[in-house]
Each structure stands twice: as structure tokens, then as C-alpha cells.
Amino acid sequence: MLILEISGHHARKKLTRSICEWFYTKFLSEHNITLEVNFRGLRREGVWGWCVSDDDKIIPESFLIEIHNRMEVDDYVKVLMHELVHVWQHARGDLIYKGQIALWKNIDYSDVDYENQPWEKMALKLEDELYTAYLYDDSYFNCERIRMIMED
């Protein structure tokens, strides 16, 4: 089950709901997920978006995605897809944060630079694929290829 809340300034609520429900149906349907998507200015933080867990479980079920509220629609969809990949990574238990320790498939990557973190590489690789799959709702071809990439 997906529980979804969308908030913030310049929120694209219908589009956000559509994307999150599509992603959940295709990739997260076996998980119970609570997701809040909040739109706000993130320019000072120097990011377009981020995803954090809202609960203290090792494999979390509750997430907050914050997205910069001043982006072109195409960029927005790609950033949201990128952050939803992180939700998927956490929900599967592939990406686990324990305090300052970042584990990817039980290997400590805490001291690895952002651009070399395997979960970021995967999310970056998938954002365009997911964008295309969502746009054309090509549920078999693109989603099967995406699942194969996710399993790497």
C-alpha cells in the first residue's frame, strides 16, 4: 500500500501523484510505503532534490522526498524518478544508513565521494529510462530493462 502526501510551494500535485503511483505499481507494490513529497527552494543547499527516511527502521517504510520547486517539467520528472529509485533501494534493503555509515549491499561506502556512490550511479543511470517509461507507459520493454539494471 502507498500512502502519499504532497505539499509545498509550487507543488505539481497531479503530476507528482501520477508519477509516484506509477512507480509504486511498477517497482514497489510488494512494500508498504508512506511517502511525503515536499516542494521547496533548495538552491541554497545546492541540490535539486533528496530522499530521507522518516523512520528509524533498518529497512524503512516512511520517506520524505524534497524537490526544488522551480524546475522545468522534464527536469522535475527526472529528479523525482531519481529520488524514487532511492526509495526503492531503501525498501529493498540495498541502501542502509546507520548513523554516519552508508551501506550498499552490506558494504561500507561511507568515505566514497558522492559521484562514486553506487546508489547514486544507479539512480542517475535510471532517471532517463524511468522518465521515458513513464511518459510512454511502455510498461513491458522499458520496465523490464529497468528491473534488470536495478538488479545489478
What tens digit of pLDDT does each residue of 116-142 get? 999 999 999 999 989 988 888 755 555
Total number of domains in the chain: 1
Residue 114 lies in a domain: yes
Q: Percent of the chain scored above 70 by pLDDT?
A: 89
CATH number, residue 112? 3.40.390
Q: What is the pLDDT of residues 81-122, one digit of tens each?
A: 999 999 999 999 999 988 889 999 999 999 999 999 999 999
Domain of residue 112 covers: 2-146
- Is residue 152, in this structure, part of any structural domain at all? no
Residue listed under C-alpha cell 511525503:
36
Q: Are 129 and 150 in contact (CB under 8 A)?
A: no
From CA 14, how far away is CA 12, in angstroms rounded? 6
Which pLDDT value is given to residue 132? 87
State the Cα–Cα distance between residues 77 and 7, nearest whole angstrom: 16
* pLDDT recorded at residue 14: 86
Adjacent-strand bridge partners of 3: 34
Mean model confidence pLDDT for the chain: 87
For 54-93, the DSSP string reads: SS--SS-SEEEEEEESS--HHHHHHHHHHHHHHHHHHHHT
Residue 56 covered by a domain: yes
Higher pLDDT, 67 or 139: 67
Taking alpha carbons only, the member of 45, 46, 63 closest to residue 54 is: 63
What one-character DSSP code corresponds to residue 62?
A: E
- Residue 93 resides in a domain: yes
